[in-house]
Structure 1
């Protein structure tokens, strides 16, 4: 039997089995009430834009709550994705974190990352600059991660998943918190956060500093400062308004030792945003929200190269701005039918003369219409249907549909079947890159320009179709929850960088990949102990395309197995302890952005002591990262000793005081 027939047979078997067992339950008089299915299960907001129990959501979702964030001992928000099945986290540099859910690559990310509904991927490169996000882990309340295409709800970059970061409400922790962190590698972090009330406003203000020297052999240090302001006000019984603004800026080390055209230097970087959201809630079943945000990125680099034996000054400038307005309406149409619908308009403005080959500012517009409905005809069945229509100036109009049927076999036990499609429009650099370097000649004049990157100028969107069957079960008496997802991804028209000779690269589409896998997550929480497990198995069935080595590169771009586990316990006398274990199989990020990485296991330990400090409270925490010793991370070329990312043992300590 062929591979495609096996996949169809699995889905067909699932449908037949569901129908047969359902008939058996009804024949036995096992009519179940709606209340049987709505026990204490997580409610998620990010999958369909509707508040739903995780068992009713149309896609697999992982929720990382505040307790898990603290227990992990991580410094970077991105590292929390090690606890999500199928997600890869790597460091292209000490100040450049890579997060992927398939197709691991340093640029042109295929994940949509949101902070309180605001997209944070960069307009030019399509990546998320995690260390430059204007917030800290102390500001994060929870993270909802959708493991699968979600363009039906959030558009083109929700290609293989969504990470939605939800910040803490000002009313959650009134008062002031001061936190100081030090350790390896020459790490110095400081944070002050205050939340309170002024007039009719609930507000919080966070300000912080981050500093370290990165990997030992790399020029990848960071020295940045940030501020984040959030305010919320209830205007009357139905209307409320939320305001946010943030900024982070400073210096990042970039470039490679020994590379005369990409020499070590400082990047002066800044990013910021302002966001306003008005919400009108007539009733829990009738809500209208309007959101507008503006964001910007600024990057400046300059260095002198002697590649042509005479000095040539190279300047790299990248400025981008984004304007986005969105309207969303949520309604309950009947006791069994809920819907959410709306639309958004976005404009990106990018000025990058060196990368685009023009001093003009490029403007890229985007318009979207979306809708999603949840129908529950009987308590045992939930149906979800949604779609997004999106027009992008670079790739035209695309439609991304999704449907899912969830059968609640027994109370707290569900089986979900679903199909979703998504697209990823090319970034401006993939589409229009014209990166040339002009070097001075000895004696005067210049050499002909050296073409480094050239865009496709005709790329259409990447496309993915995902079919899945999943089981979700909870055992309230045991405080145990299990989620198992079997899926098949058919990805077409993948855009890859292709070497065209002489050290030059172009972007070409038309490459393809089919993969299957199993993702499993388990959580157990009883009294003072909690355990989180995440495992994934991925098998590449076929790959290829017009780009040279496309089959080889796509076959090995992702770890075959990933594993993450976090065990935390609260001991008497104010002592907390947690152990994390994280494993990735060997892999090679595709394109020219990474090297072969051997399989590794990382073990972390966190021990903390809580104590009283007058009228306030304090905590002293000690974190040991990677206790087993150094491992190679993302970029590690054995022939180039100065281009190796070796993650060593690290020790961090944090003192936190709150009043």
Structure 2
């Protein structure tokens, strides 16, 4: 049985086990907590007014209210996030833009385990994460530099996706979605608990046709298992296993020389994560994380000159591929303790190894494994009842790179019972991917052995980017409106930013250098600033009506318009959640994004910025009880409104300047969920 078939069998089995009984928890709970405790900013549990920096928490009820089918869409409702889709199954996810084609400026974790892929390009495969949406408890987003807590990938921020304890109800759940453009989704979960142990098995099968004007079909199957064991009053174990299998339509029918030709790619990912906690008091804990991530991608096609004039027969049939395999092993030990009255600390160490095998992408040979050693410490010191100091430091050493110390210091002043001011400074370095340093792609004529094109050249001397971030902020509660307001004013100075730069032809020059030149990753020669303001307002002005508004303004000052265009000057979202009584609810979200050029593009000299756009997402649902079963039926839609383009394939856009080459499509579906 194939990997995908095995996962699909798991989905069907769970659907049978779960079948007819009730739906998720009541949506009567608030979709935001005005004073939530977050874990991910300093690794210490802290209420929002006391955290060192700006943070957004999205809980399970809010995620359910959106009706979204994928995680990246939820993140569009976080201030500062700049996200676009190049096709239905590929989302470009950044905080404050800037990222290359596979952004790596934010650390992304599931239960504290990094999910960045070391596989060639780096970045996060948001579509095929081995994760079921229904098992998410909450998402914590650190909006700002957080390297001293989570290392170099937290260059501009961090996202920690926390899953639910296995014993949480409902014990069985089935969720079906069907709609236009071939949407056929089925998810199911089964959980059980007895004698201090609990498990939850979740499965997802997703199908759709993607954007209307593209060969963009996608099929995703996910199977996850979480087990929680309470060994005794102090010790607990968590085991999480996840696998995903995806088939995706890729490419364009008329790409130049078929450099991005039509094809189907396949990916398979699996993860194993074991966590041990020993908790002897509210502020006394040891935690050990052991994990292994594995990713395998098969993405092959052949060059063609059939559409060229005149055709180039020696280029026909040249094999092209982006096949890659990667493995990441990680070990992390963390200690949280109370040092003295009013002084809490967390410290720890981490070791990690990345291995990549991608012969076509590394023509000079498989790169050595990449090891990481990291020591971190964070301190919370209550200087006075109304004054809190957070300080942290990280020592980090990547193989082949100089060791770095990165500090962070924040002061939080609670001016009144409802108003807190904060100010702080942090430094961070960005991790280099193996592909950025050693990537070397060569298309070779299988008959003559001639190098025809060499679009990517290595740069072993590439330096890690550095950011120095200064911010002031405000967190306030507005009791008269049952509201909270979080404001961040920031200046992020970036040095040695990495971007792809066209290069002179290497010697000997590839045959097709005049058609497709070479480029490599280089450090931008000047420091530049990102200055701006962002805020998040959440309010319940009357019972049953809840609003959430986010707004970001950024002024990039790179001195180069091509770099500035990587940052949208503004982004905004507004969500209205309404309880209409009788079990009826609705949520409407407006998304607004300014002009944005996402990444470098395969040919970096082709420039393109997507125009500003406004889009609407809708979700209408009703929850009823049928005996012991909660039944929820819904109608959902995304990308409602004028068609727009978010991230363009620049090569194709250059060949078709008169029209958007890959505009997004509206998608509408019906849903039925049973929980019991």
Instruction: Name the CA distance, whole Å, in 1 between partners of 2:250 and 2:107.
Output: 25
1:276 to 269, 274, 277: 274
Q: Is 2:645 the counterpart of 1:632? A: yes
Q: CA RMSD in A?
A: 1.8
Cα pair 2:132 2:224 within 8 Å, conserved:
no
Structure 1: runs of 5 or more not aligned = 1-38, 545-550
Instruction: Describe the shift of the 1:656–1:638 C-alpha distance in structure 2 as closer, same or farther (beyond 3 A).
Output: farther
1:16 is matched with none
Task: Report the CA distance between 1:639 and its aligned residue.
Answer: 4.2
SS of match in other structure, 2:69: coil
Cα pair 1:317 1:352 within 8 Å, conserved:
yes
Q: Is 2:638 the counterpart of 1:622? A: no
Which moved further from structure 2: 553-562 or 237-246? 553-562
2:287 to 283, 286, 289: 289
Cα pair 1:566 1:581 within 8 Å, conserved:
yes
1:608 is matched with 621
Q: Is 2:660 the counterpart of 1:651? A: no
Cα pair 1:352 1:358 within 8 Å, conserved:
no
Instruction: Name the CA distance, whole Å, in 2 between partners of 1:162 and 1:120.
Output: 12
1:319 is matched with 325
Cα pair 2:144 2:157 within 8 Å, conserved:
yes
Structure 2: runs of 5 or more not aligned = 1-32, 306-311, 505-512
1:458 is matched with 461
Aligned length: 611
Cα pair 1:92 1:106 within 8 Å, conserved:
no
Q: Deviations over 1:478-532 (max 9, x none)?
A: 3110111111010010111011253221111134321210011011135432211
Q: For CA contacts below 8 A with separation 6 or more, give which structure has more relative contact order.
A: 2
1:521 is matched with 536
1:493 is matched with 496
Task: Report the CA distance between 1:642 and its aligned residue.
Answer: 9.6
2:410 is matched with 404
1:50 is matched with 44
Instruction: Name the CA distance, whole Å, in 2 between partners of 1:624 and 1:148.
Output: 31
Cα pair 1:98 1:105 within 8 Å, conserved:
no
Instruction: Name the CA distance, whole Å, in 2 between partners of 1:175 and 1:247.
Output: 22
Q: Deviations over 1:177-218 (max 9, x none)?
A: 111112232111110111112554211110111111212232
1:121 to 97, 110, 116: 116
Cα pair 1:425 1:460 within 8 Å, conserved:
no
2:369 is matched with 363
SS of match in other structure, 1:626: strand
1:173 is matched with 169
Which moved further from structure 2: 649-658 or 504-513? 504-513
Task: Report the CA distance between 1:304 and its aligned residue.
Answer: 2.7
Instruction: Describe the shift of the 1:505–1:477 C-alpha distance in structure 2 as closer, same or farther (beyond 3 A).
Output: same
Which moved further from structure 2: 165-174 or 221-230? 165-174
SS of match in other structure, 1:71: helix
Instruction: Name the CA distance, whole Å, in 2 between partners of 1:224 and 1:606.
Output: 23
Residues 545-556 of structure 1 aligned to structure 2 (within 5 Å): 551-556=560-565
Task: Report the CA distance between 1:399 and its aligned residue.
Answer: 1.4
Instruction: Name the CA distance, whole Å, in 2 between partners of 1:598 and 1:40.
Output: 35
Residues 200-599 of structure 1 aligned to structure 2 (within 5 Å): 200-259=196-255, 260-307=258-305, 308-309=312-313, 310-360=316-366, 362-440=368-446, 444-500=447-503, 502=513, 503-511=517-525, 512-525=527-540, 527-540=543-556, 542-544=557-559, 551-592=560-601, 595-599=608-612
SS of match in other structure, 2:415: strand
Task: Report the CA distance between 1:157 and its aligned residue.
Answer: 0.4
Cα pair 1:92 1:98 within 8 Å, conserved:
yes
Structure 1 length-normalised TM:
0.90
Task: Report the CA distance between 1:94 and its aligned residue.
Answer: 1.4
Q: Is 2:107 the counterpart of 1:112? A: yes
